[in-house]
Amino acid sequence: MSRFQPSHRSSVAPFIAMEVLAAAVERERAGHRVIHMEVGQPGANAPSRVIAAAKRALDGRLGYTEALGIRELREAIAGHYAATYGIAVAPDRIAVTAGSSGAFNLAFLAAFEPGARVAMPTPGYPAYRNLLAALGLEAVEIECGPETRWALTPEMLERAHAEKPLDGVLIASPANPTGTMYSPEVLDALVKAADAMGLWFISDEIYHGLVHNGRQATALASSDRAIVVNSFSKYYCMTGWRIGWMVMPEVLAKPIDRLAQNLTLSNNEISQRAALAAFDPASTVELDVVKAGYTANRAFLLEHLPRLGFDDLLPVDGAFYAYASVARFSNDSIDFVKRMLAEAGVAATPGPDFDAARGHGYVRFSFAGTMADMVEATDRLGRWLPKIG
Ligand SMILES: Cc1ncc(COP(=O)(O)O)c(C=O)c1O
């Protein structure tokens, strides 16, 4: 056999959402209209001050920056924790990263030895387990359901730890694909339980700022050992700028700096200069208008999806996703999604991306587009669903 083979670690699962996107784009190229509800990204552009700051940055010299980010941005992010959560975080504990994806890479490498076991709720964002696998770490998926409002509980964590010791736990709140959120009390109990068990707690707070129902809380309020990951991608409408951040426990700050120096040298300077303007009050005004659009889309879908037969929806507390059972129509959501795209021109993501065991019964609709898209999608589904047998 040839030695020139890809490594075993590279054989991670594909992200089916991206495959649906490719099929949708192909269909558009063939001249058909497609409503995009498959990819989780804002339809809106970045705030105008962010764009202006990026243009200004282009007039100066762009170079490498400190591996953990320019000082001003680290200070601005620290200021965001004081203003939003009333929590003091030293700028030295902030790392600017290439989206939250870059932060996960650094956090996993800094916190875990090879073979470490990291618990996470299912359904969940697929890149967590795939990245862990590529790094030689083990994702321990714990099935969650309506009985806990799709949240991991301290008891579930303790049970899994007793079966075979864990090294960490990772949750997102609001979550993808479910949109469900941990209440501040439930989150606090989970963070403290993980702390007591000696487990690293990684909190993905990328959908903070996009809360429709309930109160968001940061894991930092419960432990300064929590690793908190966030991003400019979602609330700030900056997916393509590839910029995010992480709040590091003090003991990990130097190791993460060393890893970042070697893995990436530096983040993109334009995006860092631009991101400074994301915290500007004028940006917040623009972003809150975008968010109000999601809230209206959410209300529209919560009324119309059940009428169409998607009558088993998870609680959509935050983010811009509705995770709906398709059990009435199909027991194969991958096939359902392919037909929905080909026959109704509506693209969505099938559940197996998020939950290998139960996802065949679910589809995730992203409602980060316009209200006109929501209306057209539900009209199209209203005409199509009665025809499928
Ligand atoms: C829960 C969650 N975490 C992390 C990410 C990665 O986002 P980014 O790398 O753009 O910050 C996503 C993207 O969809 C997500 O849904």
Residue 257: what pLDDT? 98
**Is the CB of 354 inside a 6 Å radius of any atom of ligand 1?**
no
**Is the CB of 176 inside a 6 Å radius of any atom of ligand 1?**
yes
365 SS3 class:
strand
List, for residues 224-281, the tens digit of each pLDDT value: 999 999 999 999 999 999 999 999 999 999 999 999 999 999 999 999 999 999 999 9
In this structure, what token pair is assigned to residue 126?
Answer: 């697929």
- d(C-alpha 353, C-alpha 337), whole Å: 12
CATH number assigned to the domain with residue range 52-279, chosen from the 4 options 3.40.50.11540, 3.40.50.720, 3.40.640.10, 3.30.110.30: 3.40.640.10
**Is the CB of 231 inside a 6 Å radius of any atom of ligand 1?**
yes
32 SS3 class:
coil
The Å distance, Cα 60 to ligand 1 centre, comes to 30
Residue 1: what pLDDT? 56
- d(C-alpha 275, C-alpha 155), whole Å: 40
**Is the CB of 353 inside a 6 Å radius of any atom of ligand 1?**
no
Among 9, 21, 81, which residue's Cα sits nearest to residue 349?
Answer: 21
Could you tell me the fold of the domain covering 8-45+283-384?
Aspartate Aminotransferase; domain 2 (3.40.640)
> What backbone torsions phi and psi does residue 106 show, to the nearest 5 degrees?
-65, -40
- d(C-alpha 337, C-alpha 87), whole Å: 43
Residues 178 and 40 sit within 8 Å (Cβ to Cβ)? no
Among 203, 160, 159, which residue's Cα sits nearest to residue 182?
Answer: 203
In the chain, CATH 3.40.640.10 covers 8-45+283-384, 52-279
The Å distance, Cα 9 to ligand 1 centre, comes to 21
The Å distance, Cα 206 to ligand 1 centre, comes to 7
Residues 267 and 243 sit within 8 Å (Cβ to Cβ)? yes
The Å distance, Cα 50 to ligand 1 centre, comes to 20
Task: Flag residues of the chain having pLDDT under 50.
Answer: none
Q: What atom of ligand 1 comes closest to residue 231's alpha carbon?
A: 11
